[in-house]
Structure 1
Amino acid sequence: MLPIALCSVVAVAIILERFWSLRKSRIAPQGLREQIIQQALSSPLSSSQLFELEQNSPLGRLFAAGLRNASYSREVMKESIEEAATAVIHQLEHFLSLLGTIAAITPLLGLLGTVLGMIDVFAVIMEQGSGQANLLAGGISKALMTTAAGLSIAIPALLFHRFFERRVSELVVELEQESIKLVEQLHGQRAR
């Protein structure tokens, strides 16, 4: 039960952290592209402004990568954004593999607890015989509780793992669309 309890604590911590970290307002602040377009068209952004933009949000990080190469061709600007996007996507997926692992191993830990409990029950049967039903029922009950505990951790962990994977996918699409619009607006291929 101790490993299952530890998994539950880690899963709850990851779920809370991911809810906090994957807020759309934190990842892709509304109106950021319009603000950056206005600034970039009036005068080039300084390196300190680009650094501040980079620290603002993951979308700001992509914009800063593109704006550093805005004087080059559209393709170079897009490539620099794509390179920065690799790191941003990795950051968005942080802890999701651990949450998926917890969802996968907690039922197995529960099953292991059940098997070990059943071994203890059979040891009691060997020592005292099968006439004491209350000892057997108590042992079987303890053994099955580990499976129930493992499943009660695994099911929500799996649901939240899938939920956060979907949220990351949606955020990546949003970041991609905003970045493409920035590139096209700065290179005059889209209406401002």
Structure 2
Amino acid sequence: MKMSLIKPAIIASVLAVTSSSVMAEEARTLDQLLEFVKQGQATEAKENRAREARFRSDKRRQARLLEEAKDMREREERRSARLEKTFEKNELIVADKGRQLKERLGTLTELFGHLTSTAGDLRSSFANSLISAQYPGRDQFLDQLIAKMAGAEQLPSIEEIERLWFEIQREMTESGKVVSFTTEVAKLGGEKETRTVVRVGTFNVISDEGRYLQYIAENDTLAELARQPSGAYLGWASDLAEATDGKVPFGADPTGPTGGSFLAALINSPTISERWHQGGNVGYAITAVGVLAFVLAIWRLIVLAGMSTKVNAQLQSGKANDDNPLGRVLMVHEQNPTMDTETLELKLSEAVMKEVPKIELGLNLLKIIAAVAPLMGLLGTVTGMIITFQAITIFGAGDPKAMAGGISGALVTTVLGLLVAIPTVLLHTFTNGQAKKIIHVLDEQSTGIIAEHTEAQLGK
């Protein structure tokens, strides 16, 4: 019984693999199952015969394609052989024609070589010449001439050779002229305006507003320099733009037509304000201390000048006034006319000592500022050098300009410190001299009062 159950299960699994249509049905009896097996075998045989037919058809087609590929290869090999023979013949013809061309050119070959070299040099000169801004399109003619002579298929005409000579002469002539012409100028914002510009030979070109321009060879345009030179150069440029004749001073740059290294150095040189900002926080602190010293010195000079005037007036007066130091010292004697000499001397010395701090007010602070300002400058320099060497450690010392710029910025604080210390020392010296004069008058008058009082006491 078990074997009879296993055999139908095996047969059913075979039917499930060989025929999907038979799998869709379910056998109810053993006869139906046997019929299903028979149908599956028939279907599988039919499919196998169909596959064999396709395989034979594909084999015949592949054989046909192989024969066609062989025929094509033979044709291409024959064609390649014909082309090789033609190429060899053409090489002989080209060599013969080249030999004929060289014989016919004769000494003209050297001439055309010089023309090609001259046109190439002139093309590179025109690329950056300010004269090209006034006469655009000259480089196109040179490009065509160079391409024509390099191709060795056409010879330059007499008109083209004369045109080359004319361009050389025009470049030389225009380089010595100061002319004005109208062209488009690109502003800093990118917009273009038609303006009248003045060209100074091949050195510089300025706008009618007195602004320096640069020539951009890529698109044959003039553009304002983003940063203009400082000092008198802009004033000279404005005078030249407004001049109609005569001689006008102008800062021409002889080192290049597109700005030049000298003009670039002037432009890149920082102004006084920019150098001051390079000092950073230490520079700002030194400046604040310097302003304090200057204000304090001026204030003390004004006070001492007024005090000196009042003291001089007191010297001419016979009565002591309490609005000046000398008057307050003299009042001590007027208030104590019968006092003994020793006590009066102590009283006068006390009065003078009370006036000295008022007279010397702020002088010690000026002295301290004069001593501290260079130290603050040195502090800023040291910190700046530390930052510079840290940057060198990270990025290397491949750019000497960057390293020199960092060191230059670090030394700004030292300059600021000296600029504060030197005037402060002078102001302190002058102010201290004024104060010493007043104190000397007080000491002189108090000593005179003691002498007179002593004589009066001895006379009694």
Quick one: higher RCO (CA 8 Å, sep 6+), 1 or 2?
A: 1
Equivalent residue number for residue 41 of structure 1? none
With over 3 angstroms needed to count, the CA separation of the structure-2 counterparts of 1:140 and 1:126, relative to structure 1, is: same
8 A contact 2:376–2:417 mirrored in 1 = yes
- TM-score, normalised to structure 1, is 0.81
Residue of structure 2 equivalent to 1:25:
309
Tell me the equivalent position of 1:16: 298
Match for residue 106 of structure 1?
A: 373
Matched, 1:80 2:347: yes
Corresponding residue to 1:61 among 328, 346, 357: 328
Please state how far the C-alpha of 1:18 moved relative to its aligned partner.
Answer: 1.5
Paired AA for residue 295 in structure 2? A
Unaligned runs of at least 5 residues, structure 2? 1-282
**Partners in 1 of 2:455 and 2:309 — Cα distance?**
28
Deviation digits for residues 42-70 of structure 1 (CA, Å, limit 9, x no counterpart): xxxxxxxx7xx22x101111112222222
CA offsets 1:95-119 (integer angstroms, 9 cap, x no match): 1110000000000000000000101
Aligned twin of 1:43? none
- Aligned counterpart, 2:382: 115
Larger displacement relative to structure 2 (17-26 or 69-78): 69-78
Q: What is residue 44 of structure 1 aligned with on the other side?
A: none
Higher strand share: 2
Which has the larger displacement, 74-83 or 124-133?
74-83
Quick one: structure 1 residues 31 and 165, their matched pair in 2 at CA, closer, same or farther if it must change by over 3 Å?
closer
Max radius of gyration: which structure?
2
Structure 2: how far apart are the matches of 1:80 and 1:33? 23
Aligned Cα root-mean-square deviation (Å): 2.0
- Higher helix content, 1 or 2: 1
- 1:158 equivalent to 2:448? Answer no
TM-score normalized with structure 2 length? 0.35
* Match in the other structure for 2:285: 3
- d(CA) in 2 for partners of 1:82, 1:15: 27
Q: Deviations over 1:73-104 (max 9, x none)?
A: 23322221110111111111111110000000
- Out of 177-186 and 98-107, give the one that drifted further: 177-186
Is the contact made by 1:89 and 1:172 (CA closer than 8 Å) also made in structure 2? yes
The amino acid that maps onto 1:22 is L
Q: Could you say which residue in structure 2 is the equivalent of 1:173?
A: 440
**Equivalent-residue separation in structure 1 for 2:333 and 2:343 (angstroms):** 8
Deviation at 1:34, TM superposition (A): 4.2
Q: How far apart, in 1, do the equivalents of 2:432 and 2:315 lie?
A: 24
Instruction: Kindly provide the amino acid, as one letter, of the partner of residue 147 in structure 1.
Output: T
Distance of 1:17 and 1:158 partners within structure 2: 16
Percent sequence identity over matched residues?
32
